[in-house]
Structure 1
Amino acid sequence: MAMGQQAQRSERREVLNVKGLSAGYGPMRVIHDLDLIVYSGERVGLVGLNGHGKSTLFLAIAGLTGWQRGSIRLNGAEVGGTRSQGPGRYTHLVVKRGLALIPQGDEIFTGLTVEEHLDSGAFTRRAWRDRQERKKKVLQIFPPLKKLMGTAVGRLSGGERRMVAIGRGLMAEASLYLVDEPSLGLAPKIGKGVLDALMSVELGDSAMIIAEQNVALLERRVDRVLGMHVGKLKGEAAAALAYQTRREI
Structure 2
Amino acid sequence: MSEILKVEGLSAGYGPLRVLHDLDLVIHAGERVGIVGLNGHGKTTLFYAIAGLTGWQRGSIELAGKQIGRTRSQGPGRYTHQIVRQGLAIMPQGDEIFNGLTVEEHLDSGAFTPEAWRTRKERKERVLDIFEPLRKLMKMPVGRLSGGERRMVSIGRGLMTDARLYLADEPSLGLAPKIGLAVMEALLKIDLKGSAMFIAEQNVALLEGKVDRIIGMHAGKLKGEASAASRLG
More divergent stretch after superposition (78-87 vs 173-182) = 78-87
**Correspondence for 1:126 among 115, 118, 137:** 115
1:85 matched to 2:85: no
Quick one: distance in 2 between partners of 1:68 and 1:181? Answer: 22
- Aligned match for 2:6, one of 13, 17, 36: 17
Q: Does 1:71 align with 2:65?
A: no
TM score, norm. by length of structure 1: 0.92
Q: Report the Cα distance in structure 1 between the residues aligned to 2:91 and 2:37, rounded to whole angstroms.
A: 18
> Within 2, Cα distance between the matches of 1:27 and 1:34?
18
In the alignment, what sits opposite 1:243?
230
Q: Distance in 2 between matches of 1:60 and 1:83?
A: 11
1:127 is displaced (CA, Å) by 1.4
- Cα distance in 2 for partners of 1:130, 1:238 equals 40
Report the AA paired with residue 13 of structure 2.
G
1: CA distance between counterparts of 2:3 and 2:169? 21
Q: Which has the higher helix share?
A: 1
Percent of residue pairs bearing the same amino acid type: 72
SS in 2 for 1:37: strand
Runs of 4+ aligned structure 1 residues displaced above 6 Å come to none
- Cα separation, 1, equivalents of 2:107 and 2:138: 9
Give the whole-Å Cα distance in 2 for the aligned partners of 1:18 and 1:34.
7
Query: Which amino acid in the other structure matches residue 33 of structure 2?
Result: V
Residues 1:198 and 2:184 are matched in the alignment: no
CA distance in 2, matches of 1:236, 1:128: 39
Which of residues 135, 143, 146 is equivalent to 1:154?
A: 143
Residue ranges of structure 1 left out of the alignment (5+ in a row): 1-11
Paired letter, 1:48: G
* Aligned residue pair count: 233
1:3 matched residue in structure 2: none
Q: For the aligned residues, what is the CA RMSD?
A: 0.8
2: CA distance, partners of 1:89 / 1:202 = 31
Q: 2:32 aligns with which of 35, 43, 59?
A: 43
SS, match of residue 77 in structure 2: coil
